[in-house]
Amino acid sequence: MMKNMTQNNVIVVGGGMVGAAMAIKLAQQGKSVRIIEKHLIDPSHVLSNDNVDIRVSAINRFSEKLLDGLGAMPILRKGRIAPYQQLEAFERGDDKLLFDCADINTTHLGHLIENSLIQASLWMQFEQYDIEVIEQKQVVSKIEHNADSITLIYGEQRYTASLVVAADGGQSQLRTKANIGVTGWQYQQQCMGVLIKLDAPQQIKTWQQFTPSGPLAFLPMQAPYANLIWYDDANTLNTFKGLNGTQLKSHILAKFPGLAGDFEVQSHAVFPITRQHANNYSYGRLVLVGDAAHTINPLAGQGVNLGFQDVVALATILNDATDVGCALKLQEYERARRKANLLMMSMMDACYFGFSNQIAPLKWARSQFLKMANNTGVVKNWVLKYAISGEFS
């Protein structure tokens, strides 16, 4: 049964982390919200089972505050969650840049949390806010734009609202149907994520090492688990796809010699790395959030944090709107988010390309930069506060 059409009726397409957060945030404002999602989940089952997700996000303090307000963070704190107190970036042993929560008088910098647990904890809130989830496995075939409404057509099914929020990921069907173009590229390298079971106490430091073949990263999940991130040539990583855990372990030991203890490989996956930015964040009564609007190099795990910042910005702008699909409001949201998203995308690319280059003068400059930055407290703390809060202060 379709809910009655009102000026505060919203459809969110995509029930992932960002889409689910968007739905709850708008429902908390009293808006009538529905989610259209291809893959339904049982959130209670996801939260209670022992299957560890290889997909992990580094949730910063801004996102933590949002998840607290949405009711998800209290659930997450009862499950598999790993706060980290330190973040280190280095190229060689002596060239290190260490961020520590003690430097800015806080208890932690963020949390490493499995994506599936974040999504499930958000889905647990849907009943409380009367958010209807519609399973729709078909591809959207048409979007009808009207003066006071927008209609999505999936085969013979029609869904009408005042506003449609596209949270359907980097390959957004709605963005394509709305003829919103993107700019960007696919990087020559690819990335492999490896879930390991580590024979070591709980780790409090996440680190990234820049090597000639690409960055490496260690993400400490709740013990005994951790996630390894390995950037490399696509051909190199593709040769690892068919290896079992024992075979892959020997390659990992050669690349990650400084792990805290022995380990077992649980699972691994290789995926392409893409940067893209939508040319517009809205068209008519359709608005883009999260990866549908911007896909960032995952180097520092900022992708979902940027998406959560979109959620807060859009909800804030729509809070007092008499018509949530008003074009002026959606344009205001784009002005609020485009520069910030582009800044973070450019910063990640500067790190990625700058540290991947092996030109001798640039290598020397990198070394000097890391040493200088590590010893310049004001600048280091300014960068750290931006990384954990998403805001310069």
**At 370, is the pLDDT very low, low, confident or very high (cuts 50, 70, 90)?**
low
Whether 144 shows a pLDDT value over 50: the answer reads yes
CATH number at residue 288: 3.50.50.60
The whole-number pLDDT of residue 257 equals 85
Whether 207 shows a pLDDT value over 60: the answer reads yes
Query: 304 in a domain, yes or no?
Result: yes
Query: 270 in a domain, yes or no?
Result: no
Query: 310 in a domain, yes or no?
Result: yes
The whole-number pLDDT of residue 347 equals 78
Helices in the chain by DSSP H: which ranges? 17-27, 43-48, 61-69, 73-76, 115-123, 173-177, 234-238, 245-255, 303-318, 327-356, 360-374, 377-389
Query: 175 in a domain, yes or no?
Result: yes
The whole-number pLDDT of residue 23 equals 98
Query: 47 in a domain, yes or no?
Result: yes
Count of structural domains, the chain: 1
- State which residues form the domain around 305: 9-59+111-184+275-351
**At 5, is the pLDDT very low, low, confident or very high (cuts 50, 70, 90)?**
very low
Query: 334 in a domain, yes or no?
Result: yes
The whole-number pLDDT of residue 177 equals 97
Query: C-alpha angle 20/125/195, rounded to 5°?
Result: 60
**Strands 32-37 vs 132-135: parallel, antiparallel or unpaired:** parallel
- 217-254 residue pLDDT tens: 999 999 999 999 999 999 999 999 999 999 999 999 99
Distances in Å between the Cα of 25 and the Cα atoms of 32, 37, 318 are 11, 18, 11
Query: 88 in a domain, yes or no?
Result: no
- 184-204 residue pLDDT tens: 988 888 999 999 999 999 999
The whole-number pLDDT of residue 95 equals 72
- 162-188 residue pLDDT tens: 999 999 999 999 999 999 999 998 888
Query: 28 in a domain, yes or no?
Result: yes
